[in-house]
């Protein structure tokens, strides 16, 4: 291609940083570099000081960078550069970040000593030792790798949540939702569980994230957990009763009224990270019909699996036996599920692959709680996204930025309501639509689904339509 050609496949709108953006970026990277130095085995002499500097630098640097970046451009999505940026389009930077994240998760789950964790509890080193003073402050114990993870997770959601709010500042739904996401993570998933752990260190019956519930919190009905709740006094029994009530009664009722968004996009920790830290990767979710088919099979298979595993575990608990049909329940049911789904899928793949497969891989293909709520949302709920098809200019923003891989534009072009089990109600499709076509609504059930559709007929109809377009 000639130098003067009017077309170029190189970056048409190269990202240029001004002085404030550069300062913000450098400050944030300095904060991150303290963590990396610690990860490589350096134990800092004053860990409380270095951890505070690191956390403050990451937070302040990110906020300064985000404010300067987003306030000088129109609110909402700006497509320029997204498909040319190495980080947001599976380039070298994207793959590099994916590999680092995956490696971090592998170490976190199976080799925490490489992060500096001392399993004997005597003396941590490196990265984990950096968090010892904070852990001692909250719960009187030196840090575990999970404390490090929880702290960094919360820091990421808070700092990138603010970035998200600058970006979507024109949309009240996004602003309120993100404040709720940050507050839920900070209090329900981090501060309260840490303080409770300090008060009940011998009977850890509460999940690290107290807003998790079965079947996402897959060990809820494990014998050790049941015993700890039953022996945990009033608080333990309360936790048991609330846990069952949440799943059996509260979740179906609230999902009926507002869809599964109340959990997936407002309070869930996995969803919170996907919405904030994963925002730069939402366009990478596959929109093909084959992904849609795989998604439906996978998420419901995982859901059936956890129902079976839990039934067997409860059978063993009440029969006072560790075996089912002569085989070990732990070795053949609980352990494989915990390894394959709880660790590999939700942790390593779910977050490690953000820069490659998009930010909601776990929520879309694996989360059994999302699968359970999705059934209500699809068949018995008032939630839908309405489309004012006449206004649609087919720009495709909505489909591009739907993290759940829903081809929203196909519905808009047909003027059909979007009633999909997988929709997490993040509202981004509506926030990025330049024509105000899409509206998240909780209306009467009647008329929500096209009356000519029978059960899955709507989806099959849409699949045929999308197939023809591809």
Residues lying near ligand SF4 in the complex (CB under 6 A): 385, 392-398, 402, 404, 406, 408-409, 412, 418, 423-429, 433-435, 437-438
Nearer to ligand SF4 by Cβ, of 132 and 416: the residue is 416
Angle of helix 47-71 versus helix 132-139 axis, rounded to 10: 100
Phi then psi for residue 235, to 5 deg, are: -65, -40
**CA–CA separation, 16 vs 45, rounded Å?**
38
Local structure of 439: helix, strand or coil: strand
Phi then psi for residue 22, to 5 deg, are: -60, -45
Count of alpha carbons within 13 Å of 121, Cβ hemisphere only? 5
Q: Minimum CB separation from ligand SF4 for residue 86, in Å?
A: 24
**CA–CA separation, 371 vs 421, rounded Å?**
8
Nearer to ligand SF4 by Cβ, of 104 and 383: the residue is 383
How long a stretch of residues is the chain? 470
Nearer to ligand SF4 by Cβ, of 102 and 422: the residue is 422
Q: Minimum CB separation from ligand SF4 for residue 79, in Å?
A: 11
Q: Minimum CB separation from ligand SF4 for residue 394, in Å?
A: 5
Q: What angle do CA 59, 61, 62 make, to 5 degrees?
A: 65
Nearer to ligand SF4 by Cβ, of 134 and 408: the residue is 408
Sequence-separated (6 or more) residues with CB below 8 Å from residue 49: none
Q: Minimum CB separation from ligand SF4 for residue 395, in Å?
A: 4
**CA–CA separation, 187 vs 193, rounded Å?**
8
Name the pairing type of β-strands 383-387 and 327-328: unpaired
Q: Minimum CB separation from ligand SF4 for residue 265, in Å?
A: 7
Q: Minimum CB separation from ligand SF4 for residue 369, in Å?
A: 16
Nearer to ligand SF4 by Cβ, of 67 and 414: the residue is 414
**CA–CA separation, 33 vs 25, rounded Å?**
12
Q: Minimum CB separation from ligand SF4 for residue 288, in Å?
A: 15
Nearer to ligand SF4 by Cβ, of 47 and 278: the residue is 278
**CA–CA separation, 198 vs 139, rounded Å?**
4
Nearer to ligand SF4 by Cβ, of 86 and 391: the residue is 391
Nearer to ligand SF4 by Cβ, of 334 and 397: the residue is 397
Name the pairing type of β-strands 323-324 and 438-442: unpaired
> How close are the terminal C-alpha atoms of the chain, in Å?
29
Nearer to ligand SF4 by Cβ, of 34 and 433: the residue is 433
Q: Minimum CB separation from ligand SF4 for residue 293, in Å?
A: 18
Q: What is the DSSP letter of 340?
A: I
The residue with tokens 């009356």 is: 451
Q: What does the DSSP assignment read for 7-71? A: --SS-SS-----HHHHHHHHHHHHHHHHHHHHHTTPPPSSHHHHHHHHHHHHHHHHHHHHHHHHH
Q: Minimum CB separation from ligand SF4 for residue 254, in Å?
A: 17
**CA–CA separation, 119 vs 62, rounded Å?**
34
């Amino acid at each position: 291609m000639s130098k003067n050609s009017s077309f170029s496949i190189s970056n048409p709108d190269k990202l240029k940083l001004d002085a404030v953006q550069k300062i913000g970026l450098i400050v944030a990277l300095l904060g991150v570099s303290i963590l990396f130095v610690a990860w490589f085995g350096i134990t800092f002499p004053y860990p409380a000081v270095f951890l505070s500097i690191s956390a403050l630098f990451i937070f302040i640097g990110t906020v300064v960078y985000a404010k300067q970046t987003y306030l000088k451009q129109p609110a909402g999505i700006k497509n320029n550069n997204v498909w040319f940026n190495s980080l947001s389009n599976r380039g070298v930077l994207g793959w590099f970040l994916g590999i680092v994240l995956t490696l971090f998760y592998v170490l976190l789950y199976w080799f925490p000593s490489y992060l500096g964790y001392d399993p004997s509890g005597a003396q941590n080193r490196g990265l984990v030792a950096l968090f010892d003073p904070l852990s001692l402050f909250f719960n009187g114990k030196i840090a575990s790798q999970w404390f490090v993870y929880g702290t960094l997770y919360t820091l990421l959601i808070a700092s990138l949540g603010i970035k998200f709010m600058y970006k979507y500042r024109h949309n009240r739904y996004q602003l309120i939702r993100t404040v709720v996401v940050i507050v839920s993570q900070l209090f329900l998933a981090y501060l309260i569980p840490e303080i409770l752990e300090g008060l009940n260190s011998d009977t850890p019956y509460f999940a690290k994230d107290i807003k998790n519930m079965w079947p996402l919190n897959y060990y809820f009905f494990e014998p050790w957990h049941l015993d700890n709740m039953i022996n945990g006094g009033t608080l333990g029994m309360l936790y048991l009763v609330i846990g069952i009530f949440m799943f059996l009664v509260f979740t179906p009722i609230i999902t009926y009224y507002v869809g599964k968004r109340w959990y997936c996009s407002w309070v869930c920790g996995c969803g919170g990270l996907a919405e904030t830290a994963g925002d730069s990767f939402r366009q990478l979710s596959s929109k093909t019909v084959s992904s849609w088919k795989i998604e439906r099979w996978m998420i419901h298979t995982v859901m059936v699996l956890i129902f079976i595993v839990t039934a067997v575990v409860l059978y063993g608990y009440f029969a006072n036996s560790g075996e089912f049909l002569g085989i070990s329940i732990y070795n053949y049911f609980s352990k494989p599920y915990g390894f394959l789904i709880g660790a590999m899928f939700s942790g390593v793949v779910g977050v490690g692959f953000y820069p490659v497969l998009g930010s909601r891989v776990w929520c879309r293909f694996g989360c059994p709680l999302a699968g359970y709520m999705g059934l209500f949302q699809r068949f018995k709920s008032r939630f839908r996204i309405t489309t004012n098809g006449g206004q649609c200019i087919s720009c495709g923003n909505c489909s591009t930025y739907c993290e759940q891989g829903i081809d929203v534009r196909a519905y808009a072009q047909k003027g059909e309501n979007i009633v999909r089990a997988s929709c997490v109600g993040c509202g981004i499709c509506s926030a990025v639509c330049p024509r105000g076509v899409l509206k998240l609504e909780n209306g009467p059930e009647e008329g929500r689904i096209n009356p000519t559709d029978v059960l899955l007929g709507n989806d099959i109809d849409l699949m045929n339509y999308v197939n023809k377009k591809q």
